[in-house]
Each structure stands twice: as structure tokens, then as C-alpha cells.
Structure 1
Amino acid sequence: MFLKSVEIFGFKSFADRTVIEFSEGISALLGPNGCGKSNVVDAIKWVLGEQSSKTLRAEKMEDVIFNGTENRKALNVAEVTLLISNDAGILELDIPEISVRRRLYRSGESEYLINNTLVKLKELRELFFDTGIGKTAYSIMEQGKIDQILSNKPEERRYLFEEAAGITKYKMRGAEAERKLARTEENMRQVESILSEVKRSHDSLKVQADKTIKYRELKNLVFDAELDLQLLKLRGIMESSNGADDKLKTKVADKQKLTDEIDNINESLEENLDLVNNMESDLIESQKKLYGIDLEKTGKESQERMLAERRIEITKQAESCIAREENLKNRIESINIQIKERNSELEESGKRVRETETNIAGFEKSINTAADRISENEKSITEAERRADEGEKTQIDLQEELRRITDDIVSQLDTRLKETGYSLNERKAAEQHFNELIERLRIHLDGKKKFFDDARKTSAFSEKPGKLLDAAEESVADGASRIDELRQAFKDYRETIPAFIDEFLAPEGIIVKKRDLDTRLEQNRNMILSMREKARDLREENRKLNKKIDEYRKTLEDLKMTKVRMETRLNAVRDAVKQNERELNEQQGLLVENRNDLESCNSRLGNIGEQLKQIEVEKAELQKREQKLRKELDRLENGISKRNVDMKSREKRLKSKMENLGKIQQQIETLHIEISNFKVEIRNVYDNFRDRHSRDLSDYDSKMYELPGEIREYRERLAKKKDELKSLGSVNLMAPEEYEEVKERYDFLNNQINDLNQAREDLKQITDQIRTESTELFVETYNNIRKNFHIMFRRMFGGGRAELKLNEPEHVLTSGIEIYAQPPGKKLENIALLSGGERSLTAVAMLFATYMVKPSPFCILDEIDAALDEANVGRFVNTLVEFGKKSQFIVITHNKKTVTGAGALLGVTMEESGVSKAVAIRLDNTGVQADEQEEAGVI
């Protein structure tokens, strides 16, 4: 029996449905602090029935439901499922695999399920009684349990011994028997009190019942007299109605005959219908059988697929063993090569350290040279910015002077134009005429466009248009007449320009002054830009130099770190050589184990082949049964069809008979009307009698025709009996019934007293027997654990001694248990005086001593090695590996040495804040060491 897996959904930090599968032997659960490892332990305790929210590290039980994060909504349900292998039949359920589930809703509702069937918490706990599994058993060992074992209260240590002794169920049954005994004695006291009251009523009612019996006898005689009178009256009325009844009988006989014929037809229809129903039932049954065969075929096919998959899996395992053997051989060869290479590496590493020191000195010199250059550039930047600032001040003065000269030019030009009578309109008209001539020349001399374009531009801006026109005459001989027109138009245009313009354009004029000022402005602007550009270039150079200095410093730091790493590596290589030698011995041992595994795989492959052949035979038999059932289905369907045709024919005959029956029924109803009056009179007699006596007169019809004499005699007898009845006086009519009820209760209570006395004796005998058996089991288990504890203590501490003592040996079932320990080199003392590490190691010794007597199928150890030093951890791991061959251990630890004893690694991470995720890394013993070296940083 072992824990196969735990499935967690919505419990604490496990927001997603997570399945963690465990293997037999030892599994290590790893992960950083706060990732949710302990939540896995809490989940297992919770599903086993833990009711304390504080034990689960929560304020209230609803707090165990995932409460959401920044990126996820809160859930409304938490669910945990344990899947337990029960091949050994340790649990009472006779099935190979058992699932235990607990579900909690945010509304507070809780459910427990065993194999998907709702059960009570008590039933779930009883399933694990005396197995070492449960919320208070020793299957879960954490720091709190260690504190409980080592508690200052000796009586709190008993649970470990009681669970190992298997007396938990006896204690439960004994407590239940004592509660029943107390209830029985309380019931006896109550019954005796009730019995005394009932006896008083019993004696009083007996006297009243005797008088009531005599009264009832006279009452019956009065009733008999009145009955005779009514029967005589009824007889006369009934004789009158007999004639009408004879006619009615004839018609009824005719009706009955026709009804019989109809019944025969109905009966035959029902018979046919029954046959059809039976055939349909057979049809359905055959279909069910056929469906069952299909299910069996599906099951065989599923079994066949499962075996095929198993064969593939075992084949892969065999191939893996072959590959592993090759890897082991290669690894052994590789280790030998590594030892040689690392010896060479020791010499090479020393040489590289010296080279690195030389590089460090060179980079330090480069940094100092670049710093000096930066200092010189800073001085040049300051000088360039000073000259640029002075140039900007000069620029402002020149711009102000330029603005003043420009204003003067505009003012003088405006005044002189007005004095000369210059007309802007005439000038525009001349220019328009000139442009028209140019356009006509362009059209006429299309090939000379470039030349005339130059002439037009020259006439607009040049003072000497004559030279251009002469050039035009030489180039175009056939345009002479149009050129004269152009010359005259241009002359008119020139005459419109005022003569004072020449004054502005003279060397000493205002326009020349403005041009000089523009030149000085441009030169000053260029100087400023040059200084700013120089400063920027120097700053850029300094930035690059600073960047180089940073790079040199980073390289320098890298070189220093490289030197440290190389020195560290030098020491690591020396350690690695020693490690390689140890690993070489391990790999050679693993090679032998791997060959044994390969032989086992080949044997299992042969067994699977035989099972597959048997399945093929069974599938062929199912095919034959299926063919036979299909033939039977065809026969039944044909039979049902034929019966349905016959039933339609009979229904047609039935309809004809029913029409005749309707006619006879009308005749019978007419006769009923004739005798209805007689029946009314008869009913009145009956009703009147019932109203007076609360009895039915029809019960006495047989006496009607036997009465002799006249009515007068019956009246006299009735009067006499009424007088006798009156003389009795007041009577309790219910006394006989009340007496019988009280007598029945009186007898019942007497019997109850006797039964309770017997039950009390039986319960006392049961509690004594339970106490005796529990004592024997506890003493035997205590002595065995006591002996084993001493042995395990010496093994865990490497010597010393330990003892267990009962505080009250005369009261074995309630006595506390004291623990005394004497580590090597110390005196024997109470465990409370030991150090934290010694207390933890003592508790571990107690746990293993208990496992030697009664091992739990699986055990969870939650960081119990945290307080142990390296030497004690080694002894703990060796012992754990030994016990792991018989029981399943799931170890939560941060200690690397403890991890080396595990056959499988399970990881818990928190990639998303607040949400735990499980990662399974299943490793066999041949791959643990290599993966520890390669992935130690990840873990």
C-alpha cells in the first residue's frame, strides 16, 4: 500500500487543478521558501479529516479556499483527492485502488467522498484506524508533531504508541460502550419512575372496567330488541320488490352472456398482448445482453491496449537499461579522462591568472591617459564658449545698426519718389507691353527661346540693354522690324525710372553701407557657429572618452572577477578530482544494478505476451455469442409483427359486440328505475338504524326471515331491558379499553426493566474485555518500541543510550510516558534538557523505532532535518534509505544531503505571484548525481 498521487484544486495557493504523482520509496519535495510546499502537507492533512483551521495555518476553515490574486479571481470551492494503492489489502475495502476526497465550498458546506461516494467524517476516519494514517497518526511528521512527541506533558506522547499498538479502534469502542452504559442506567431510573405511576392507574381502572362490562351486556340486549323490530319492517318492503327483481334478472342474464363473449375476446386480446409484451421483454433482454457483450469487447480491447502500452513501456525501460549501461560505461571512461584533464587544467589555470594580472595593469594605465585628455578638452570648451558669448553680444549691436539703416533707406526712397512724380501705373503698363512683345517673339522664334528669355531677364534688371539687343540683331536677321519696336518699348520703360536711384547705388551711398553691414553680420555669425561647433565636438570627444573609461573600468572589473573565478575554479578542480574518484566507484556499482533491471524487463515482456494471447481467445468467444444473439433478435421482431396483425382482427369483432351490449344496458336501466322507489324505502330503514346505533343493518339480513311472533311482543321485551339499563347509573364507557392500554404499558415497562438490567451487565462485560485486550496490545507494543528506541538512538547519535518509562505502570491505558536520553559524552537526563538538534534527532529515533514495530504505509516528513548538523543528517539519510525499502516516504527539505537519498524529485514553484505550480522530475538512482550538478542553480 502506498500513496499514488494527490490532486489539489482551489486549496490555498493551488489555483489550478494540480496532480502530484508519487512513486514508491523516497520522494523529495523541493522549492524555495513561500512557494507552497507546506500547502501540499496541509492539503493531505485536510483531506484526512483535519478540523482545526489553526493547524492548517488559517483563521477559519474557509480561508483554505484560493482567495485570488491581482491577476486571478477568487475560487468558491477547494478540493483535495488522495489516490491510494491498496493491493496489499491493508484498508478494509476490498479493492486495489481507493480515492479519498474532501470538498469545501465558500458557503461553509463540506463533503467527504470515498471512491466518489459521499460518506461521513466518522466513516473516513474509521477507514484509516490503526494503519498509522490519519490527522493524528504518525504518517505526517512535521515540527509540530516533533514538539508533541517531545512535549513536557508525558500524556501527550501516548498517541504515537496507541496508534502503533492498534488500540485506537478499541478506545473508540470502549468509549462508546461506556456512553451506552451511562445511558442505560439513566433509562432504568426513568423507567422505574414511570412504572410506579402506571401501577396506580392500573388498579383504579380495573374496578371501573368490570362495571362497564355489565353495562355493555344490557346495552347489547336492548340493541337486539330494536334490531328485531327493524328487520320485520324491512322484510315486508323487500318482498314487494322481488317481483321487479325477477324481470331484471332475465335482462341481466342476457347482458352477462354478451359480456362473457366480450370478455373472451378481451381475454384473447390480453393473451396476445402478454405474448407480445413477453416477446418485447425477451427482445430488450437480448439487446441488453448484446450491449453487455459490446462492453466486454470494449473492456478486452481496452485491456489489450493497456497491455500493449505496458509492453511498449517495458520495452522502452529495457532499451533505457541498455542505453543506461552504455552511458555508465561512457561515464566511467569520461571520469577517467576528466581526472587527467583536470590535472592539466591546474597548471593552465595558474598561467592564466598571471596573464590576467598583466591585462589589469594595462587597462588601469589607459584609464589615466583618457582622464588627462578629458581635462584638457574641458579647458578648450570653456574658451570657445567665452568667444561665442562675446560674438553674440556683437551680433546684437550689428543687427540694431542694420535695422536703423534699413529704416532710413525706406524713408528717403519714399520721399524722392513723391518729388519726381514717379507713376507706378505707367511703369506697370510699359512692362505689360514689353512682355507682350517678348511673347510674340517667343512664338515666332520658338527655336530661340533660351536666348530671348535671357533678353527678357536682362531688360528687367540690367542698366545696359543695348548690348543684348545688338546680340539679338546678330542672332536673328529676320526679326529686325520687331526688334525696333522692342527697343522703343524698352526706352519708354527706362525713362520711367527716377534718376535719384543712382545716388542710392553710389559707393558712398546708403545701400553700400547696408551691404558692408550685412557682410560683417555674416562673418560674426560664422565665428559664433564655429566656436559652438568646436565646443560640441570637444564635448562629444569627452563623452566618447568617458564611455571608453566606463568600458575600461567594466573590463577591469571583469578581469578582476575572472581572476577570482579562475582562483575559485583552481580550488574547484582539485575538489572535482576527488569527487570523480568517488563517482567512479558509484558508477561501477550502478552498472551491476542496471544489468539486473534489464533481466527483470525481459521476464515481464514474456508474461505480457501470454496475456495478450488469452485476450484474443476471449474476444473470439464473445464474437460467437454476439452472432447467436443477433439471430434471436431477428426471430423476436418477426413474431411481434405477426401478433400485431391478429390483434387488429379481434378488436374489430369486439367493437360489434359492444354495440349490442349498449342496447341491453338501456333496457336494464329502465327496470332499475321501477325498483328504485323500493330501494329508497329500504335505504331509509338502513339509514335510520345507522343513525341511532352507529351500526349497519345489512350485517343482520340473514336473521330477517327467521323471526317468529308479532311486533307487539318485541316492543314489550325492549321496554323491560331499557329499565334495567337505567338502574346502573353513571358508567365510564372507556374503562375496559383504558385498562387494557394501561395493562399493556405496565407489562411493557416491566419487560423493559428486565431488558435494561441484562444490557447493563452485557456492556460491563464488553468494557472489561476491551480494557483487557487494549492493555495487552499496548504493553506489547510499548516494550517493543522501548527496545527499538534504544537501538535507534544509539544508531542516530553514534552511541549513548535512551529509555522510556511509564509514569503510572499500574494504569497502563492512561499513564504518561517519560523519555530519557543520554547522548555520547553526557549524563542521562530528561529530553526537555536537550538542545534543539538533539531533541529533533531523538524524535527521529522515536519515529523509526515505531516504524520497526508497525510501519505506516506512507509517511510525510516536513523539514524535520532542519535542526540537524551535517553528520546527523548523514545518519538520518542512511536510516531513511533503509526504511524506504519497506515504506513510502515523502520528504520536504532544503538540505542537499537529504535530497541525495531520494529516488524521485518533486518541485513546487510560484512562476505567477500567489499561484503554486508543481513540477515532477522523476530520476532513478543512476541520474541523480549528474542532475544535481547541472541543475543545482535551478533548484
Structure 2
Amino acid sequence: MNFKKIEVFGFKSFADRKVIEINEGITGIVGPNGCGKSNVADAVRWVLGEQSAKALRGKSMQDVIFNGTKVRKSMSFAEVSLFFDNTEKLFPTLAFDEVKITRKLFRSGESEYYINDTQCRLMDIQEIIRNTGLGKEGYSIIGQGRVSEIINAKPVDRRAIFEDAAGISTHKKRKKEAQSKLERTETNLQRIESILLELDRQLEPLERQSADARKYLQLRDELRDLEINEFVYGFEHNAELKAQVQKTLDEVAEQLESMRGQYADADKQYNKKTADRNNTDVYISRLRDELTALAVAAESVRGAGNTLSERMSHLTSNRADAEARLVAIEEDIDKKDEEHTYHVTHLNMAKEEQSEVKEEYDEADGEYEELLAKITQGEQEMESRNDELLKAMESIADIKENYGKLTAERDTLLEREDELSAEMTDIKSELKDAEEDRLELEKDVDRLRRQRDRLASSRNEVMFSLREAGEKVEKNRAAMTELQTRISGLESRIKMLAEYSRDYANFRDAVKHLMQAARGDEELSSHIEGLVAEIIKVPKEYETAITTALGGSVQNVVTADEEDAKFLIRYLKNNRLGTVTFLPLTSYKRRDLDPRLAGILRERGCLGEASKLVSFDKRYDNIVSGLLGSTVVFDNTDNAVEAARRSGYNVRIVTLEGDMINTSGAISGGAVNRSAMASVFGHERTLEEYRVAAEKMKKEYDKAVVAYKDAQEEADELQEQLKVFDEDFRNAEVELATASQKLEKASGRCDELSSSLTAKTGARENIRRRIDMINGALDSVDAGKGVPVHDDEAEKERRAGYAKMRERSKELSARLTELRVKLTSLENAIASHSENIERLERESKALSEERTAIRRILSDTEDKIKQTESDIDNAVVSDEDRKRQSEIKEKIASLDEYKAKLDEEIAAVMNFKESLTQSMISANEEKVRQEAKMQKIDEDAEEMRVHISEEYDLDYESAARYRRADFDHEKAAGEIGKLRRAMSKIGPVNLEAIDMYKETQARHDELAAQRDDMRKAQSDILEIIANLSKEMSERFDREFKKINSNFQTIFSEMFGGGTGRLEVDLDSAEDPLEAGIEIYAEPPGKNLRNLSQLSGGEQAFTAICILFAILRLRPMPFCILDEIDAALDESNVDLFARYLKRFSDSTQFIVITHRKPTMEQADMLYGVTMQELGVSDVVSVSLKEAVKHSESK
């Protein structure tokens, strides 16, 4: 027993894994029509390598996979395994006692093959079953269609069955391989002979070229030595220059750093002295306010205006100071304008020069690029000319090589002319059949294409929706990311502000330490009501004004009474924490606006009393009234000054911008840091704003998360839909591709036949044209046409021209480097001038603003002087007030002297800064020059490095090993030029000619030896082919005679007489091994001239006789017969079944049948049923066991 069992899973109607045991003798497979019993034969044929879906009764190979039913899902793959007993070496190449052959197919179209569960190739399976009769061309599986093929097939196609039975398939394959090897050998032999002919022609010119090459190499070595030493010298010299330039750069950088430090120090001095002068002005102003107050007091006592003379003096002095400062500012502005003009002029000059240099650079760069293109084109043209020379040489060699072939071709074409008419008749008939097949296939392809297009349209709609859903996902993800980032930023700010407020970072150290200590000390905390900044809530628009009005009071600590204040003062003293101002609720006095001055609240721009613009707990009314009760808030300075003048400067006024007018008449203001001014009151408000904004963003983030999830769910759902459409689309594509492939083959076949018909119709003309072409080629060889003459002089002139272009390109490269350096220098100069211009404009703007402010003060002072002049009278001043006035005047005079000294020092510092600025400009310009020089050195070094690397593949370290002690840099340039000119005179050089000349003869001898070896191999292969042909012919003749004898006997036995024979049709082919097999059959009582005259049953019976004749000669391991008895009548079926039984001792038969006589001869019956619609099931019955069981009963 060789065939043990079949295992199927997912193959056609076998949805479940089924095992069919194959015993000795005959195994019958029975069942009603459509139950899937023939699928068993298809499964075996499929495992053994069947590649035609049509042979398996399907449209595409995927049709063999279980496609599902109404209650079962389709499967994704089909798998079939065959198990063989190999103890008798059915498969001699495999060393296993049991062999398992498996094939697996997936819906993707991918197939897998296994031998004993080890993956292999289809050809491996085909190799092991060769000469066993199991191949698809053999006779192991025979169905009704196979029976008709044996009878109706062409004689040549029928031969394969008998060759497999005769056991010459392996010999035939070996012969085909030997013939292919012979063709390759003959091709190689022709190629070698052509090469030898070409080598003979090359020897003479190679000798001449080698002499030029040796001279060229000598000059090249000398040039290489000089250029490498020149590179080493230049590299080291550049390194020295670079070190010198770097040293200068370091010195300049050190000078610049020093000057920047001096400038920063001078700037600090300037700021310090300016601040000192401003503070002095403020102090003088306060003294003069006091002097004025004394005068006013004296005036009120005496009722006379002469006390205002001091105020007049004060105003006059202020006016003089303002005028002096105005003159100084005008001088500073003039200097700044001159310096600004200088830098603007030089900036414009630098830009003009930059434009000119850029234009020159672009022009040089264009010429440089054009030269490079010409050089590249020239080199390509030289390569092209060399290629043409080689192609011409190869063309002559090819023509000579093909001389004999062309002659033979001409003779063959002449002979072919006589054969055309007969072939054209056959082609027309075949073309008609092919056209009919093609039309049917076109209909299938059109239907499948429409089906595919409908699926594609639906799939595209889903893809579009999926893309939109994906965009929604990305949009919501981006929104989530942005919101998360903004929330994180707000939380960071909230945390920072909370820590800032908690640590009292904006307060003086003493206040900060006290409040931080109170936070962790309940006793200490019980003595503190809070800071002024904590008990007052200020609207955002008034924060700057209220902060200005409170001044340092904002950091005062409020206590319940004086005892708490004393306790806290002791705590500060004991812990050495500094001083703090305390405001006890029991003692601090309120201060309200005088009702007589309430008219100021109706002035233009008045926003109200400061104490009423803030909110606070009523228990702190005294504190807030005492701090802000007499302060009024105005919208801007102009309205505030006008209102103060009208009120006689008896009310303190503060503006929204932080400017303040005191009751003394002093005005303070200017540019203030609003965020710093408002930070005391704004921290908590900002913190709350941030918290509200963060909460709002978190809600937006939650909405974005929900939207993101919804979009993601939609995208996932669409993705699943797309998968379904993708699978359906792929299946449709596969079906369409399969049908299109068939159509393409059919169309190709039609085109091939049409083309063949057209070609044969005009063959006589084509033959004549081809002969003319052949004669022309042969005439070219005879006339000695060959390689075109190479003009050495023209080539030398071209090379000289390219050398000049390369020299010009080097000059342009150097000029471009210079221009790049100059451009860099100009860019740095432009940047320096632009920076100075911006600085001067900023300083001039500040001076202009100060000049405007002073002019406004002068205007106000003039108005006050005029007013005071009218109020002066001869009031009498008390001695004490007179003494105080005298002291103040002396102090003012002293401060005026100090202020004048400060003005001189400020002017000196300004001059020093201007001097430093000029020095820094000069140093920067020197730095630019040195950097440009450094860049030029680097570019020169890089140019040398690139040249030495590209020419000789060296770097400095490797080039330094070639340094010569006697190298003369001064002479090197001249010697290099001389060598280049000498090399140019030589012209084109084949550097490999020296070795080629030496190697050509050796190669010639080697190829000659190869030619002799190939001739010997050619002879050996011819001998092998002859031996194989002889052995195949003898074996086939011997075995065929036996099969024919068996056929004659069996035919007579099964038909009860008559004659049947097999003959080799030697007239159908020149080679007997390619001749067809003719079948002759005459049942008893009939005289037939053609097999087609037999009835269907007779034809089937004849084919069965041939099968039995083959089995008698060469029993097979197993044979599957698929309803081949269907066309037989009852008597013939019985005869067929009994005859089959006779062969079952040597061959295992698996018979698929409906016929009772056949079933009765079976040793084992398998019933195939469909208890579940669309799914095959298998039930086995052992007839031997059934008979024994029946007899026992």
C-alpha cells in the first residue's frame, strides 16, 4: 500500500476537516449529484500541482476555497494533504518512511507547498513525483474529460501519456537541459572566436599607446610630487597666517570687551549722576516749596504779598535752571544729529558699494558657472567620442561574428517560402476559433469591470468620509493639544503668582519677613489686621493712580491698637528684621477733603476722590481716609495741572498715568513701569483672572475631548467599512485581473495569429529586404569599413581650449572669493552703522522728550512768575521765619553749585562715551577686516584641500609623508606649468595601454585554450544528446510495443472481439521522439476509419482499455477514476468493474461512481452527503466487514 489517506480542510464544499483513509484494493466514493464527491479528485489533482482553475472547474484559483453558506462564513484558506507510505521507496529521493505532501491557498492568492510540513516550492513536488505516473500529464487521475482527451487529443499531445508510462520523462528533461547547454556553449564559442579576432586587431595600436602612456605617467608622477609638496607648503603657511590673524582677532576682541566694559561703567556713571542730579533738583524743589510755604505763611499772618518775593526768586531760579538744561539738551541733540548724519552717510555709501560689489559678484559668478558648464560639456564630448570609437570597433566585430549566421539565415529564408501557403490555411482556421473565445471573454471582463467600478465608487465614498473624519480627529487633537498647552501655561502663571503673593515678594524685606513669620505663628498673626495693600481693593483702571497716591504707605501694617503695634515693634527689634510703619485703628486719624475745596471735583477730567474709588471694610474707614482722603484722581496731567492752579495748589492730585501734583506745587511724573506700579494691587486680580480663564479653557478642553472621541469612533467605524470594501474590491480586482489576463492571452493569441498571417503573406518581400540588409552588411566587412580616423591635432586643440577655460575658472574662483570677503565686510559695516543709527535715534528721542517736558515747565513757571509779581507786597516776616528762609537759601545755593558740578561731570562722561563709541566702531571695522582675511585664508586652504583630495585622494596628514627637504616653493609654480604643457602636448592618453598591451597576448592565449575546451565540451554534449536520444528511442519503442500488445489483448477481451492497436506516426515529425500516437479501434462487426465514428460509450471503453494496458505494463501507486464508467451500459460496467478488480492487487484505485457493479467490487465505500446545505460530509463503510457481519448473522 502506497497511498494512505487524504486530508481536506476548507477545500470547495469540505468546510470541516475531513480524512479519507485509502486502503488496499478499490476504494469507492459514492453519493448523489452535487454532493461534492468529485471534489475529492480535484483535491488530489490540486495538491499535485494543478495550476489551471478551469481544470478544477472554477473561474479563478480562489474558487477552491470554501465560499460559505447562508449559515456558515466563508473561509480564508484551503488546505489539502496527501499521505504516502514510502517504505518501498515510491519517492526514492526522500529518506522518509512516510511522506506528506501539502498545498495551502489563501484568498490573497498566495500559495504555500510543504513536504512533511517543511515549506518547499512547487517544482520540488513536481521533481519527486516525476516518473511515478502522478504528474498532471500522467494517468493517475482520470475523469470523463480525461477519457475524451485521450481519444480526441492530437496525436502529438497524446504522446505525453505514453512517455510517462514508458518512464522516459526524466531522460527527456535531461536531453532538453543538454540541448540548452549546447546552445549556450555554441554561443560562447562564437563570442570567444569574435573576441580573439578583435584582440589580434588591437595589439598593434596598443603598443603605440603604451609608449605615450609611459611618458605621460612619468610627467604625471613629477607633477604629482610638485603639487603635493606645494599643497603641504601652502597648508602649513596658511596655518601660520591663520595663527597671526587669530592673534590679532583675539587682541581686537579683548579691546572690544574692555571698551564695552568701560562703556557700561560710563553708562552706569551717567545714569547715577543723572539720577543724582534729578534727586538734587527734587530736593531743591522741596526746599523751594518750603521757602514758598514760609512766604505764604508770612503773607497770611501779615496780609501782605511782599513775602512772595521768595517764591519769585524760587521761580526765577527754576526758570534759569530749566533754561540751562534746555541749552545743554539742544547741544546734545546737535551732537547726536551730527553723529547720526555721519553714520547715515557711511551706511548709504556702504550700501552703494555693496550693490556694486554684488553686481560684480553676480557677473563673475555667471561667467564662472558658464565656464564650468562648458568644461563639463567638453569632458562629456570627449567621453562620447571615445564611446563612439569603441562602439565602431564593437560593430565591426559583431558583423564579422555574424557573417556565417547571416549566410545561413539567407538560405533558411529561401527555403521557408515554399512552406507558407499550407501554414496560412491552418492559421485562418485557428484564428476563427480564437476570435470566438476572445468575444466571450470580453463580455466577462466588461461585466467584472462594471462590478469592480461600482465597488470602487462605494469604496471611494467611504474613503472620502474617512478622510473627513480623520481631519476632524486631527483638528480636535490639535485643539486639545493647544488648549492643554494654554492651560499648562495658565496654571504655571497661577502657581507663580500664588507663590509670589504668598511670599510677599513685592514688599520691603522687613515687611516680607514679618508677614511670612505671621503666617506660621498664630500669636504673631493675632496682632496684625493686614497690610494696606490687603485691606483695599482697587479697580484695574485706578491701580496706577492709587499706588502712586499711597506711595510707601501701601506696605504699612494695620493693627487693632497701639499695643499691637508695640508688640510687633519689639518682635522686629528682637529679631533684627528692620523697621515697619504701623497704622493702629484706634489712633490713626482720618483726613477728608476740605468742603471749601470740593469745587475741584467738578473740574474737567476729575474722576473723584481717591478714597471713594476703592472698596474696603468699613472698620478701616479711618485708615483709608487718612491715606487717601485729601487726594483727587484726574484723567491726565493737563487737566490735573489746570485744576491744581485753580485750587491754589491746596489739593493733592494724582493722574491715571501716575503723575502727581503736591499741595506745594511740586509736580512728579514721567515714564513709569505700569506693571510694577500696579503689581501690589494687581496680583490678586490677575490671579483670579487667570483662574477664571483656566477654568473656562478646561471646559473647552472637555468639549474638545468629547468631539475627539466622537470623531475617532466615526473614523473607526468608517475604517471597518473600508476594510470590508477593500476585501470585496480586492476580490473583484483578482477576478477582473484573472479574466483580463485570459482576455489578454486570447487577444494576444489573436494578434499573434493575425500578425503571423500578415507576416507570412508578405514573407517573400521581407525575405528579399532581409537578404539585401545581409548583403549590405557583408559588403561592409569585405570593403574593410571600420573604425573612423581619430584626429589627434583637433583633439589637442580642444584639450588646450579646455585647459584655458580651467585656468580662467580658477581666476574667477579667486575673484569670487575676494568679492565674498568684501561683501561680508560691507554687511558687517552696514550692520554696525545701522546699530549706531538706532542707538542715536533712541537717545535723540529721549532728549527730545526731555526738551518738551522742560519747555512745558518753563511755560508754567512764566505763568507763576507773572501771578506772583502781582501778589508781592511789603509783608513783614518774623525773625524765626526769616532765619529759616536764610538757611534754605544758603542750602539751595550750595545745591546749585553741586548741581553745576554734576552737569560738568555728566558732560565729561558723555564725551567719554562718544569717544568709546568711535573707538569701538574702529575696533569693529578692524575685526571685520581680520575676519575677512581669516575667511580668505580658510577658502584658500579649502580650495587646496579639495584639489589635492580630488586629484590624489590625499589629506594633509597623508600628503605630508611626501614632503621633500629640497622643495623650492619659488620655482614650483613654473615647473608645474611646464609639466602641464608637456602633458597637454601628448594629447589623449590611454593609461591602461601598458598593462593592456602586456595582458592582451596572455588573454589571447587564455581564450584560445578556452576555445579548445569549449569545442571539446561541444563534442561531449553532442555525444550525451545522441546517447539520450538513442536510449529514449529504444526504451520508448520497447515499452510502447508492450503497451500496444497489452492494448490489443485487453481491447479484444473487453469488447468480446474486434481489433485495437496503437501506432507511432513517424510522418508527423522529423524526430521519432516527437512523433504523435495514433489509436485504431474496431469493435466486433464494425469497419471504422475514424475514432470519431465510435459511440460515446465505445470511446470511453477504448480509453479505459488504454489505461488498463498501461497499468498492466507499469502498475501505478494509485489511480483515481472520476465517473469514467458513466457512459458505459450495464454489461460493460460489470466487465469494467471485474477487470478493475484484477488490477487492484498492484494499484490502489479510488473510484468515484454512481454504478452498482463498480460499487460491488469496492473494498471500502465512502459516502459523500450534504446533510447541511452546501457542506460535504463523509461516511465510510468497509464492505469486507459488512460481509463478515452479514455472514455471522
* TM-score, L = length of structure 1: 0.45
* TM-score, L = length of structure 2: 0.36
- From the CA coordinates, give the structure whose radius of gyration is larger: 1
